[in-house]
Amino acid sequence: MQGLIDSLKLMSFGEGGWGYQFLLAAGMTILLSTASYIFGLVVGLIAACLKVWGGFVLRGLMEIYTTIIRGVPELLIIYLLFFGNEAAINAILGMMGIVEPFRLNEFVIGVFAVGLISGGYATEVFRGAIQTVPHGQIEAGKAFGMHGFLTFRRIILPQTIRLALPGLGNIWQLILKDTALVSVVGVTELMRISQVAARSTREPFPFYITAAILFLVITTFSTKLFRKAEAHYDRSVRRAS
């Protein structure tokens, strides 16, 4: 019982408690996940369109991108982007005569890395959804005088979103877990604050179990949101049937 009381004190919002820091870290996890998710969706949609309608070279480049993302561990990709980008930028600055070293913001590189990782998976989700849209509807749009982009915006994109939502929900869950990997580059999210608190107090269990509970709360809530979104986009299909 005394151990439970001590654990609750460690997670309190009073003096010596880590509750406030954990709330801030949870907010950072949500912010990092949301920014990475949006960036990944944009990358994935563009890459999917290039895979479906791009030329031979563009399709090949997108295939290389998705193969690397799905074949290389996420942590290794984060390391490569974090240290590789800094080295490349500093090399370019050196050629320009700027000797002062440039350091990337940890949050920005975290969003960039996790966004590229999620974008690789989103590419295949979007590609499969685009190719599922009946070709006859696209031909009907052209027959009504719709140009390429208008056909995409009014016919292909709405159905692509509806068909891709289940897969995109899974990618969101993947991003939430991948944010824990970004702690290695110094972003203070849930995993990072758990490690700091555990080292500071030498009581790792209360902090890691709190982080696990917060992750479960976030994933449970977001799962319900995605299910509501799926139900919203499926309304027209249910009415038509």
For residue 86, tell me if it sits in a domain.
yes
End-to-end CA distance of the chain: 58
Residue closest to 207 by CA, chosen among 14, 32, 18:
18
8 Å CB contact between 111 and 81: no
Residues 24-81: tens digit of each pLDDT? 999 999 999 999 999 999 999 999 999 998 889 999 999 999 999 989 888 888 888 8
Look-up: residue for tokens 């989103």?
Answer: 122
Region 235-241: mean pLDDT is 58
Q: What is the pLDDT of residue 100?
A: 64
Residues 168-195: tens digit of each pLDDT? 999 999 999 888 888 887 788 899 899 9
For residue 108, tell me if it sits in a domain.
yes
**pLDDT band at 4; cut points 50, 70, 90:** low
Q: The whole model's pTM is what? A: 0.87
What CATH number corresponds to the domain at position 33? Answer: 1.10.3720.10
Q: What is the pLDDT of residue 123?
A: 95
8 Å CB contact between 78 and 182: yes
For residue 4, tell me if it sits in a domain.
no
Helical pair 56-71 and 106-132, crossing angle rounded to 10 deg? 120
Here the tokens at position 48 are: 């999917």
Rounded distance between C-alpha atoms, residue 136 and residue 138, angstroms: 5
Here the tokens at position 76 are: 């290794």
Here the tokens at position 36 are: 């990475």
Rounded distance between C-alpha atoms, residue 118 and residue 37, angstroms: 7
For residue 12, tell me if it sits in a domain.
no
Rounded distance between C-alpha atoms, residue 222 and residue 198, angstroms: 28
**pLDDT band at 90; cut points 50, 70, 90:** low
For residue 225, tell me if it sits in a domain.
yes
For residue 15, tell me if it sits in a domain.
no
In SS3 terms, 74-126 reads as HHHHHHHHHHHHHHHHHHHHHHCCCCCCCCCCHHHHHHHHHHHHHHHHHHHHH
Residue 99 phi/psi, 5-degree rounding, is -95, -15
Domain assignment of residue 128, given as a range: 24-235
Rounded distance between C-alpha atoms, residue 31 and residue 197, angstroms: 21
Here the tokens at position 71 are: 């074949």
Average pLDDT, rounded, for the chain: 84
Q: Quick one: DSSP state of residue 144?
A: T
Structurally, how many domains does the chain consist of? 1
Region 135-156: mean pLDDT is 79
Rounded distance between C-alpha atoms, residue 46 and residue 165, angstroms: 17
Q: Please, is 175 exposed, middle or buried when counting C-beta atoms within 10 Å of its C-beta (0-12, 13-18, 19+)?
A: buried
